[in-house]
Structure 1
Amino acid sequence: MPSPRLHVQETNEARSGYESDVSSKTSLDSDALDDEPTCKGGKKRPRGATSKSTKAVPKEIASTSSRGKRKGGHSSPAKKKRKARAEDDAEAEDVTDIDLKDGQEVVGKVVQAPQTGWGSNGQISQHTLDFLAQLRNPSCNERGWFKLHAEPVYRRCEKEFKEFIEAFSEMLVSVDPQIPPLPPKDVIHRIYRDIRFSNDKTPYKTGLSASFSRSGRKGIFAFFKPGDESIIAAGAWCPGKDELSTIRNHILHSPDRLREILSNPEFVANFGEPRPHPDGKRQSVFGHEDELKTAPKGVNKHHKDIDLLKCRSLAVSRTFTDEQVLSSGFIEQLKSVVRVLRPFVHCLNDMITLPVDGGSDGDGDQND
């Protein structure tokens, strides 16, 4: 069994230039350590002399015990336990027996990744979900804890996720040829949070994510988070002012294509009814936090497509349980969802890139 790795860092005293007491340092370096131990009264004990506490073992007893050991060949259970404890102590000494430089100390053991139980062929394992679940604990979501677990636990989880994304990308390209086959490193998001303008200063995300599209990272979004919170999403999330204005112009002039996609039975089965939820919950493309409360500027509030025109984000999402994520057929399940999403993504791409029928710019002064 490989010995656990130790994490060593310099103490604050070493970093501040602190020097230990001269007398204690001298005592450790003293030549007196090489002298023979002295007897009582300050005199040296002659070489070969035995201590008063040492008792000679009679030859008869010694020979008898040696004969008994040769005949029986087995030690008592108590001796076996003592021997096992001694071996454990020796192993512990070997683990901690490292050369520390001045001002260094052992601050913890680097946790080793499990040797078994990892996913294969692009499958997510329980180990990855367990690691992400730990990051929900504030005491774990900090740099000191993460440093001890990053090598090799996090790196092993990251490797597994890259293998999954590679399999997912291959499936995605086969379903939608408009999406380019990019390597996992180009579509996977970093686990480090951007805390520059956030009140929440926890440094790490609690999930792993990646996104794909015909232009790079915008389009279909996959996010894996323990606690039955993994999702696959697609659409235009918080588009820019010009993009949003173009989408609304298309809806004003020809909303039929988008309406037909949202009303498709398979689409409804995966993402909900094509209308706002009575309680304001997310349903289809409706219910996002950035949805307008009133009609956009210049649009009649009684317009027949006012529900779509109020949307600032046109995106849908579907949630998966941990059991589904861990199943061997998860990629195939995602494949069926991607097939349903493809017409929706293509429709939004065309709305953003193609001119409005009739050449009219529509209402270009709408609020975003």
Structure 2
Amino acid sequence: MADLQIILHYLSDLKANNNREWYHAHKKEKMEAMKEFENLVQDLMIIISKDEPNILQFQPKDLIFSLVRDTRFSNDKSPYRPAFRAHISQKGKLPIPVGFFIYIEPDGNSIIGGGLFADMFRDATNMMRNYLIQHAKEFENILSNNRFSAYFQLLGAKLKRPPKGYDPDFPYIEYIKYKNWFVEYHLEDVDLLKGDMFDNLIEMYRAVKPFNDFINKALIDFKMPTR
């Protein structure tokens, strides 16, 4: 079982010393913390693979994002993100198909989530909207399910008015206004250190799975843009 205390301790230190000199001087601590996070991702993959066997084609490191930040277009020039992030999906870290997202950052900033976070793919947004036209009631049932709503509520960028070409009187037009559809559950540091933490993560995975499955059905024909 992963030691979350080691992870939180390293990330807290990185957050307080977010510079290249400290980062490179503490490579050993980074590797120890990353190994614990890889252990956590591996344990999650084993459980998730019972529903999605293709997950096991990846190694945990294949699903984990870099700590290095792209600061080119950001006012925040901190070189590192003091968080460990992973996206457990049938195509790895790619945003589509959607999967189970885990984000660990100290000071109560950790997140468990799922769904379509990226709204830069217009084709994906259109596919989801068109699928909702036919299956909106099913989507509503997923959102209102007690297991799901115990942790999650629908989030995402949303238009003020119905998008062009969609009937404003459609009963579920509020779902159509979204440009992306995702959910998040925030965890305090103390939650990550509880003995039942892993069981709770698995319960959240099972709660969000129908939501992810719905979106992946909508996006089954989506092709990632080529550069």
Question: What TM-score, normalized to structure 2?
Answer: 0.88
What is aligned with 2:208? 341
Residue correspondence of structure 1 range 39-188 to structure 2 within 5 A = 121-125=1-5, 127-137=6-16, 140-150=17-27, 152-174=28-50, 176-177=51-52, 179-181=54-56, 182-188=58-64
Look up the equivalent residue of 1:250 and give its one-letter code.
Y
What is aligned with 2:162? 295
Contact 1:123 1:328 in 2 (8 A): no
Max Rg structure = 1
Q: Counterparts of 2:38 and 2:201 in 1: how far apart (Å)?
A: 16
Aligned to 2:36, what secondary structure does the other structure show? helix
Deviation at 1:337, TM superposition (A): 1.1
Structure 1 gap segments, 5+ residues each? 1-120, 272-283, 356-368
Q: Counterparts of 2:173 and 2:142 in 1: how far apart (Å)?
A: 17
Deviation at 1:161, TM superposition (A): 1.2
1:208 aligns to 2:84 (yes or no): yes
Change (3 A) 1:179 1:337: farther
Change (3 A) 1:179 1:260: farther
- RMSD (Å) for aligned C-alpha atoms: 1.8
Residue correspondence of structure 1 range 6-21 to structure 2 within 5 A = none
Change (3 A) 1:178 1:263: farther
Deviation at 1:178, TM superposition (A): 5.2
| 198-207 or 299-308, larger mean C-alpha shift | 299-308
Q: Counterparts of 1:179 and 1:327 in 2: how far apart (Å)?
A: 30
What is aligned with 2:189? 322
Contact 2:48 2:55 in 1 (8 A): no
Structure 2 gap segments, 5+ residues each? 223-227
Contact 1:122 1:166 in 2 (8 A): no
What is aligned with 2:218? 351
Look up the equivalent residue of 2:84 and give its one-letter code.
L
Q: Counterparts of 1:238 and 1:166 in 2: how far apart (Å)?
A: 25
Change (3 A) 1:192 1:313: same
Contact 1:232 1:317 in 2 (8 A): yes
More helix by share: 2
Look up the equivalent residue of 1:330 and give its one-letter code.
M
Higher relative contact order (CA 8 A, sep 6+): 2
Look up the equivalent residue of 1:122 and give its one-letter code.
A
Q: Among the aligned pairs, what percent are the same residue?
A: 28
Q: Counterparts of 2:40 and 2:134 in 1: how far apart (Å)?
A: 41
Aligned to 1:195, what secondary structure does the other structure show? coil
Deviation at 1:254, TM superposition (A): 2.6
What is aligned with 1:92? none
Aligned to 1:233, what secondary structure does the other structure show? strand
What is aligned with 1:222? 102
Deviation at 1:267, TM superposition (A): 1.1
Deviation at 1:328, TM superposition (A): 2.7
Change (3 A) 1:306 1:322: same
Q: Counterparts of 1:320 and 1:171 in 2: how far apart (Å)?
A: 21
Structure 1 stretches of 4+ moved >3 Å = none
What is aligned with 1:269? 150
For residues 192-251 of structure 1, the C-alpha deviation after alignment (integer angstroms, 9 at most, x for no partner) is 111122222111001101001122223211000111221111011124111111111111
Correspondent of 2:117 among 214, 220, 237: 237
Correspondent of 2:137 among 249, 256, 265: 256
Look up the equivalent residue of 2:48 and give its one-letter code.
L
Question: What TM-score, normalized to structure 1?
Answer: 0.56
Change (3 A) 1:262 1:173: same
